[in-house]
Amino acid sequence: MASRLAASPGAGAASPLVALVERAVPVVVPPVAEHFTFEHEGVRLEGAYWAPKRRVFGTTAPPLVLTVHPGPTGAIDTSYAPLTHLLSEAGFAVASIDFSGSTGHGRVHRERLLGRFGDLDVRECVAAVRHLVATDRAAHDATFIRGTSSGGTAALLALCEGAVRGAVAWYPASSFDDEADGFEAGYLDALVGSAEARAARSPLARAPAMRG
């Protein structure tokens, strides 16, 4: 499908358009997010799913990239994203979920992550992947995860769960050392818990268990 742009000659030789020019401008339609829900530990969680624009891998279900939002108190962003568009055009499905701790679902949902960061959010992301595989929206042997900041931390830890084949993490927190001062002082203590829990749950501590 294309739209046609026509230009007419201007007045005299000074005009850069000296003849009728027609150019076919292709219309590129970005993928549209579909809402989905699933349950984990009796809690109903919500997600967004972008189906691939075309199938290029010859499989019944497409490969999947789960995007983990940062924060961890961020939320799904369904506005236009060039990377989502690129992956969709390349034959990948893309998904994102509002795991426990995400904003926009009330205080109970947000505070459910306190003391469980790096554990509950990761298992909910893995549950989303398995749900999409079970509903034929993702190939079981081609699931991947990506994220930035705390989302990158979850992506790394998901490699310990045996549900994804690879992960991409931009500037993740690889250790859970809390800040002594500054605006985030005490934040990891609230999100993860004791110093012992922070040491045991960090990506650095769990690196030997990562598979991808």
pLDDT of residue 56: 82
pLDDT of residue 27: 61
pTM for the predicted model, two decimal places: 0.84
Q: What is the DSSP letter of 183?
A: T
Q: Tell me the average pLDDT across 112-117.
A: 95
Cα–Cα distance, 98 to 166 (Å, whole number): 21
Q: Is the pLDDT of residue 22 over 50?
A: no
Query: pLDDT tens for residues 159-195?
Result: 999 999 999 999 998 998 866 666 667 788 889 988 8
Helical H runs in 67-186? 82-89, 107-111, 120-134, 150-158
Query: pLDDT tens for residues 36-63?
Result: 999 999 999 999 999 999 888 877 899 9
The percent of residues in the chain predicted with pLDDT above 90, rounded, is: 69
Q: CA 101, 157, 140 angle in degrees (round to 5)?
A: 100
Length in residues, the chain: 212
pLDDT of residue 29: 86
Q: Model confidence at 198, in pLDDT bands (50, 70, 90)?
A: confident
**Two tokens, residue 2:** 């294309």
Phi, psi at 180, each rounded to 5°:
-75, -30
Cα–Cα distance, 130 to 124 (Å, whole number): 10
Q: Model confidence at 26, in pLDDT bands (50, 70, 90)?
A: low
Cα–Cα distance, 186 to 183 (Å, whole number): 9
pLDDT of residue 86: 93
Nearest to 212 by CA among 138, 159, 155, 174: 159
Cα–Cα distance, 210 to 212 (Å, whole number): 7
Q: Residue 130 contacts by C-beta under 8 Å, 6 or more apart in sequence?
A: 163
Beta carbons of 63 and 87 less than 8 angstroms apart = no
pLDDT of residue 163: 94
